[in-house]
Amino acid sequence: MKELLEIKNLSVSFNTLKGEIQAVRDVSLSLHEGEVLAIVGESGCGKSVLCKSIMKLLHDNAYIKSGSIIVDGVDITHYGRKDMERLRGRVFSMVFQDPMTSLNPTIPIGEQIAEAVRVHNPKMKKAEVYERVISMMDLVGIPDAEDRYKLYPYSFSGGMRQRSVMAIALASEPKILLADEPTTSLDVTIQAQILDLLKSLQKKLLTATILVSHDLGVVSRVADRVAVMYAGKIVELGTVEDIFYEPRHPYTWGLMRSLPSLAKKGQELYTIPGMPPTLINPPKGDAFACRNEYALAIDYEEMPPMFKISDTHYAATWLLDERAPKIAPPVGSIR
């Protein structure tokens, strides 16, 4: 499979009054054509920042410290505003978390989609644009598209707005779709519909998708591959089966075990002790060590490299070193 997007040793930092926040630390990742890659992690682990830094949507106090972003074989790490404007929408496009605020309240939905169509096809005729907008609205499942064209966002419910946002994002047929927690602010039943839509669109259009989520359930529903992020780093990367059935990183174990849906009633729910570290002065060695009951002495000294487990499965923990004691994973491979 062709690699559409390749991120090499990317580090992104923010300058704040409190100091440098190292939001993304040395992340390497690749996205293949037509796959869904999910990035999971807790809030503040840098998953959103990673997404936005690909599209250069970060605020001006953020900067790429090192590493490179390669899209379709072209290095875009140092692209300026004009160059990015050319790429956005056509090459990659984004769906945001809150559909209530991500649409302009004073412009009709249809117009907002039309705008997205026109950006990269300035010569398109009015009727053609209209046609395309209607077909996009049909595609994302907004019924009676022609009547809804002129409606303003306030008369759309959350789910319908998220569908509109997806229509906007897909209007110029991007190769990569970045979805930043697209269902977090929606209800469960609506969430299911949007996820199904996302999956079916992805099948139909073969758009490579990066899905950012904190919900392991959502991830298991749509993802092909999963990257688990913790404190700005990717700690485990693999296919969805790898991650859910044979997790190797203690943090992934912790995440799985603390899910109430997997816990038995009456049993104590497992909790990961402590809190995630601040990213201003991240601890030396493995950032997860101080919350990890399986931590090795070296975890407090040295950052673990990515260990290869199989062709698709990687994890960054010293437990995979051949010198480390063998530990039976507390979760996975049961079902």
Q: Which is nearer to other proteins, 28 or 257 (CB)?
A: 257
Indicate the helix (H) or strand (E) that contains 2.
none
Say how far apart CA 5 and CA 91 lie, in whole Å: 10
Q: Which of 70, 298, 309, 320 binds other proteins (CB under 8 A)?
A: 298
For residue 28, the one-letter residue type is S
Minimum Å gap between C-beta 131 and other proteins is: 18
- Binding-site size, other proteins (CB under 8 A): 111
Site for other proteins in 58-117 (CB under 8 A): 59-61, 81, 85-90, 93-94, 96, 98, 101-107, 115-116
Q: Which is nearer to other proteins, 11 or 93 (CB)?
A: 93
- Based on the shown chain and the rule CB under 8 A, indicate whether residue 23 belongs to the binding site for other proteins: no
**Would you give the distance in Å from CA 314 to the centre of its chain?**
18
What contacts 24+ positions apart, CB below 8 Å, involve 123-130?
none
Among the candidate windows 67-75, 204-212, 256-264, 305-313, which touches other proteins by CB under 8 A?
256-264
Q: Which of 271, 310, 312, 333 binds other proteins (CB under 8 A)?
A: 271
> Under DSSP, is residue 315 helix (H, G, I), strand (E, B) or coil?
strand
Say how far apart CA 245 and CA 335 lie, in whole Å: 8
Minimum Å gap between C-beta 323 and other proteins is: 4
The answer to whether 24 touches 51, Cβ cutoff 8 Å, is: no
Q: Compute the radius of gyration of the chain from its Cα atoms.
A: 21
Site for other proteins in 119-158 (CB under 8 A): 119-120, 142, 148, 151-152, 154-157
Q: Which of 75, 83, 131, 187 binds other proteins (CB under 8 A)?
A: 187
DSSP one-letter code for 283: P
Q: Which is nearer to other proteins, 96 or 307 (CB)?
A: 96
Site for other proteins in 307-326 (CB under 8 A): 318, 321, 323-325
The answer to whether 211 touches 36, Cβ cutoff 8 Å, is: yes
